[in-house]
Structure 1
Amino acid sequence: MRETMAVEAIETGTVIDHIPAGQGLNILARIQSHNAQARVTVGLNLPSKGSGQKDIIKVEGWLFSEQDAAEMALYAPKATVNIIQGYRVVNKFQIGLPSAFVDIFACPNSNCISHAEPVSSRFYVKADSDSVQLRCHFCERSFSDSLFKH
């Protein structure tokens, strides 16, 4: 007999699927930094045909733009975003890494001018098949993406 998990469907909102297992809580933190009152359903370490395990997040009442999704890209660059209206998927897209992250992360370099001046942080993204590097616009130092993941 096949077991299934029942998770309540959402009428309107966003479903982020195919999040690498263990990264769902990082994405949840980003969502809550924008809207602490968001109604969210989180599934952690769920079975996945492609990767063995995955996380999934459902956010009711918030239709993510590609810009909203780009903020989550460092944690789940290959995740899928499903926009739901009337209980149906009306738009679907891959997150993908943006060319830059603006005002999302603080620079790990404590001597960076961005800590002393009222400016938005900006990191340029350089990705290859094995890693992601973020270069600060202000101090020009490069950092591994692992410094920004919790």
Structure 2
Amino acid sequence: MWYALIAVAVLAVVAVVARRRLVVVQVSGVSMAPTYRPGDRVLVRRTGAVRRGQVVVFESTRPSGWGTGPPAPPWAIKRVTALPGDPVPADVAEAAAATPGARVPEGALVVVGDGTSSADSRVYGYLPADRVLGVVVRRLSSGPSGDPVA
């Protein structure tokens, strides 16, 4: 009998830890197509550490810059293309107000959508790294549940 209680307690602890470290979000926009399409659900690992090439989910709303213009979901999904210390990509330089040869500053990321239509660093400049919720681990399925992301 006590084995069952221990098993239930362990499962409860695992569920709490997983909930704090993982979140499921649903893609609502086309900016990451064909990699992720509207309706896709993705598993996101909460982390502050990201690498170039990873897809991240981040807070898109803020007083200026990211999230300006038409209302957007509170979360967005894009691919990291440059990290602090990397050269600023030429197609981002104007939006980031970067001079030729500039490097991405500490605390900033360059993020770009995989699709042909994406409001990203080419429009808004650097993404503050502290806006990142986490890194996409994998696509779970296409479906209606989860928090929507653009």
Give the structure-2-normalised TM-score. 0.30
Greater helix share, 1 or 2?
2
Greater strand share, 1 or 2?
1
